[in-house]
Amino acid sequence: MRRRNEELRRKSFLIFGSPAVGEEEVEAVAATIRSGWLGTGPRVACFEEIFRSYTGARFAMALNSCTAGLHLSLLVAGVGPGDEVITSPMTFCSTANAIIHCGGRPVFVDVDRRTMNMNPTLIERAITPRTKAIMPVHLAGRPCDMDAIMETAKQRNLVVIEDAAHAIEAWYHGTKIGAIGDLTCFSFYVTKNIITGEGGMVTTDREEYADKIKMYGLHGLSKDAWKRYSDEGYKHYEVIFPGFKYNMMDIQAAIGVEQMKRVDKYLARRNEIWARYDDAFADLPVTRPEPPEPDTVHARHLYTLLLDIEKTGMTRDEFQQRLHDMNIGTGIHFISVHLHKYYRETFGYKRGDFPNAEWISDRTISLPLSARLTDKDVEDVAEAVRFLLRDSA
């Protein structure tokens, strides 16, 4: 077995989440630098228009991260000290942290084991007089049950802010994610499907929200303050709100503009890899990702296996380490937020509060899934996983 392990071990380490970046992006960045306009400017405006058109939303506002988008979305929706926001514990900490930064309290509801998304039937019982918003998380690229969530929000007069960090390409019942909730936040972090290195975008149909996010994200300056140094002539700005430094740079936007030209091509490649993984792991002691729900498009951001730790006789962490030893990088998405020290000690959460999220937390592992992967890379991943698990089947 050890000899076979050495035979399958890659010569170079396969980095998890390494993005597909071409010479077009390199040249776009170089052209931006040569232009002398590196900060927020015309390329950001171009990227916003491309993304607005892609999602079908009325407005799109580029920021320096999805976290910034979540924070500002909560602020413009009126979330403040003492307010509660219902969300999923199966997410990255930024979802909960954005709520806390507004002075609010994250209220978690458990997830469905099959979809790994928040269970909408549990939302109603989590609502209190202090509830201000619902923040669904489209985990791994799978759209949440937005019909049920939007109906509950409408009945209870709550704002819906979607965490779509994983869901750029996702569709739900004929509508793009980004054009359903009151506000939707996307990520262009380096591991995402479309990247700008660091970066985010908020979409909305409400002009009031759009104007405030633009203003709050650039120190609270008056609208279009970035134009004050353009060839249109100097314009004085005015501080209307004590805002934040959340704006996107033109250097970042230049990458995003080029990336969006290949968004469909990249999704097609990840679909190919997804299908190859599904075939390779069909007979192993793992649970593969469920197929997309009817009339939806899965963004294919994460390919998550759920390890049958009883059959394999190894923990998820041991399995991850063994893949690492074979030069295969992986990710964990996620350790349920309520299990982390800060949220346990601050809000009193404990193991046992959200059994499904905890069950997933103990078993989930994400395999490399990038349009950059070669067929040989995919084969290496599949063979390594099969080598480690097939004797346990």
Give the residue numbers marked as catalytic: 192
Contact indicator for 298, 304 with CB cutoff of 8 Å: no
Question: Dihedral, CA atoms, 54, 58, 61, 62, nearest 10 degrees?
Answer: 10
* Rounded-to-integer distance, Cα 248 and Cα 201, Å: 9
Would you state the structure tokens that stand for residue 65, as one six-digit string? 């991260």
* Bridge partner list, 307: 286
Could you give the C-alpha distances from 365 to 9, 81, 85, 204, in angstroms and in order? 19, 36, 28, 33
* Rounded-to-integer distance, Cα 352 and Cα 361, Å: 12
Which burial class, exposed, middle or buried, applies to 164 when counting CB atoms under 10 A from its CB (0-12, 13-18, 19+)? buried
Three-state secondary-structure class, residue 160: strand
Question: For the chain, what is the radius of gyration of the CA atoms?
Answer: 22
Q: Which residue has the tokens 């923040």?
A: 135
Helix/strand/coil (H/E/C) assignment for every residue in 92-117: CHHHHHHHHHCCCEEEECCECCCCCC
Q: How many CB atoms lie within 10 A of CB 352?
A: 7
* Rounded-to-integer distance, Cα 299 and Cα 204, Å: 20
* Bridge partner list, 171: 176, 297
Amino acid at position 291, single letter: P
- DSSP label at 218? B
* Rounded-to-integer distance, Cα 235 and Cα 226, Å: 9
Contact indicator for 136, 117 with CB cutoff of 8 Å: yes
